[in-house]
Amino acid sequence: MNAFEAEKLKQSVQGILSKSTSPRQRLIILKEYYSALISNAPKLVLHAYIQEFINIFIVALKKFEVFYFKPQLTKDIIDLLRKLKQFNNDELIIGEFENQINNLRQRLADLESVLDGKEPQFPFEKKVFFPLLERDINIQQNFLFGTLETLTIFIRNNKEKDEFIIVPSTEVIDEFLLNQVKISWQISVNYIRKRFPRVNKYHKVVIHFDHRWGNYTGSSLGAALTVSFIEELITFYNLSYVISINRNIALTGGFDESGVIKKLHEIIIDKKLEIIFYSFIKVFVVPEENKIYTQNKLEEFKQKYPNRDLKIIGVTDLDDLLDRRNLFDIKKQNPIIRTTKFAKKNWVVTSLILIILLLSGYFYEFNFDDNPAMLAINGNNILIENSRGKVLWSKKIEIDPQFAAAILKETAKIIKINSDKKNLVLISRLLQSELKNPKEYGSIFCFNYLGKELWHYQLKDTVKSYGENLEPLYECQLIDTISYGGKNLLVAWAVNDPSFSSAIFTLDLKTGKRVGTTFWNPGHISDAIITSIPGYHDMIVFGGSNNGYAKGVIGGIRLSELSGYAPSTHYYTFLGMKPANLAFYILIPKTDYLKHFNVLRTNAIYYGSIKNSEREGKIVFDDIEKDSREASLIYKLDYNLKDISIVVDSRFRIERDSLVAHGILNPPYTDTPQYCKLLEDHVLYWNGKKFVKKEKLK
């Protein structure tokens, strides 16, 4: 692909993006764009065009849901993100890619678990779900994507006529949709009137599509709409009984005016079944006339995933639907609860809700989107923003602003584990002024989308070495979140403020409780990532220092073996635990430059610098040789965990070469093969018993 072809491709993509507001369509379009560039364009062309749509791509990624698509699509996106990281120098974008890779991997594990027949290990809404199809913007009759949608209904009395407000909607509401709304409403009102004659003649009804995917059309949501109307009418009139839908159920099919659920076209059923199959739904309710066809198609899907637990149920009309006790529960309402509901009914609150729902478009998205989506730093304030960059709330953290970008990823994370699609926020390094109890300083805090604390965790372990007792006064930092062993976990590290110990441990994200065992390092950890390299899945790569040897250290330990302690000299060896089963543990030598200035007792791995460069097949990290990142060396450890190469930072080269030129330090000059080889020869590797040079490492 030459520059002319790349420009033509870019303009074509621009044209398609200008027509589409769908994040799913945009994601697929840009996936194909970047894949074509990476596969076919030379490096010069690639670098010229790779940044073109990167921000649009990131926004689309944040809105992408792994469920409802074949797992291979997500795997392809993860692979693409790994490749894109290699062509980007912006730390914020690289960090965003890393966050998205981890999020996608976690949700992919959830999907694959469901496809294997296991119960979903994540919460989700107990609402009426219905599959929603999205058309190709270029081919009107071709359905590309799909998702599950839910409804929220608001009802109040009206004087002159029934009035329906659909959010979101265009100025002209789809004729088929509006007609189905009216039919479903009449069926619902008739159902209620048979049981409660004093139903008002007219109502104002707000139909709010919870996820606001786009402009809604068609009539196949009729069954879900009718059930939602009935549920809300029962609540509105505070009737003596309640209807509740069981979990893991989705409905499709529209009603005709006689109350019969209409047959759907086979093309529509095919695509809707695909959405349901790759979701958490366990029961799919279809029109009776579509049941046999849908059941046969399900068997085709199950050829690849035979353990997928999904049942097809066919229904003919509303009574047939509601009479099935495996789908709905109908029972009397507790009289005390019923009375309490009546007392709490407040038209002012309802009116305010309606006013908010009636606001649509950009103003709604900007002002009423309260879901945390992005993080930013302003001074020592960490800003929690929605997807359009509006600040939702903020917290003050203890941070040097000049290093904010480098350590943001270990200070705060946005996570998604709730069924209501509201994200949670993890934050460490909170200032004491932000704490209710100053003794909680150094904890990890989990906040809900409104900024309310859900839980916090403080490391309080007391450990001993041959040299001293290490009392608990730890500052915790975030490494990453991961789905492991059927749980959503946070992997974190903590450093002991008054002394040398540091630990890597895991927390249950739902409860904030410690789970599993703990790994201890005899020196402060300053950075860590979770990654995979050939032969090692879900490995924690960490860097920092080893106080016993007064050297920087880079190490790796698998999540499944997170326990024990790293080796050190006698004084710094931990008591009462076994040595860790480390994948690797390497001592990085101090330079003559560091020894000359004598500012640091030991060199160390720079925080925020560890990266897995899949393009190079290496673990890359920075070794600090002064009291800041002003002078450092870049180390590259091959995936074989033995071969190391060194890149000399320009500031380090200038300063050290000046000292060599003045006779203060001995030759060779810095950015030469001889100097790099000199350092490489002093790298020491732990072989399970002692530290050895590379040539003696088996």
384-395 per-position pLDDT tens digit: 888 777 788 888
Better-predicted residue by pLDDT, 293 or 65: 293
668 cis-preceded (ω within 30 degrees of 0)? yes
Q: Is the pLDDT of residue 359 over 70?
A: no
Give the chain's end-to-end CA distance (angstroms, integer).
Answer: 45
- Of the listed ranges 39-43, 321-325, 433-437, 543-547, the least confidently predicted one is 321-325
Residue-by-residue DSSP string for 126-145: -S-BEEEEEE-SSSTT-EEE
Q: Which amino acid, 587? A: L
For the entire predicted model, the pTM comes to 0.51
pLDDT score of 491: 96
Q: Can you tell me the mean pLDDT for 468-496?
A: 90
Assign 495 a pLDDT band (cuts: 50, 70, 90). Answer: very high
Q: What are phi and psi of 47, to 5 degrees?
A: -65, -30
Give SS3 for 311.
strand
pLDDT score of 362: 41
How confident is the model over 574-630, as pLDDT tens digits?
999 999 999 999 999 999 988 887 767 788 888 778 999 888 899 999 888 766 556
**H or E stretch including 533?**
strand 525-533
Q: Is the pLDDT of residue 635 over 90?
A: yes
Q: Is the pLDDT of residue 129 over 50?
A: yes
Q: What angle do CA 353, 451, 232 make, to 5 degrees?
A: 30
Assign 210 a pLDDT band (cuts: 50, 70, 90). Answer: confident
- Of the listed ranges 102-116, 352-366, 658-672, the least confidently predicted one is 352-366
Assign 7 a pLDDT band (cuts: 50, 70, 90). Answer: confident
Is 669:657 a contact under the CB 8 Å cutoff? Answer: yes
pLDDT score of 522: 96
Q: Is the pLDDT of residue 508 over 90?
A: yes
What residue ranges in 85-240 does DSSP mark as E strands? Answer: 130-135, 143-149, 151-157, 163-167, 203-209
- Residue 391 tokens read as 């600040």
pLDDT score of 4: 77
What is the b/e burial string over 29-50, where b = at least 16 CB atoms within 10 angstroms of the residue's CB?
bbbebbeebeeebeeebbeebb
Residue 509 and residue 481: Cα distance in Å, rounded?
8
Assign 196 a pLDDT band (cuts: 50, 70, 90). Answer: confident
Pairing of strands 684-686, 691-692: antiparallel
How confident is the model over 218-256, as pLDDT tens digits?
778 888 888 888 888 888 887 766 666 776 788 998 888
- Residue 617 tokens read as 């097949």
pLDDT score of 459: 94
The mean predicted confidence, pLDDT, of the chain is 83
Residue 230 and residue 194: Cα distance in Å, rounded?
12
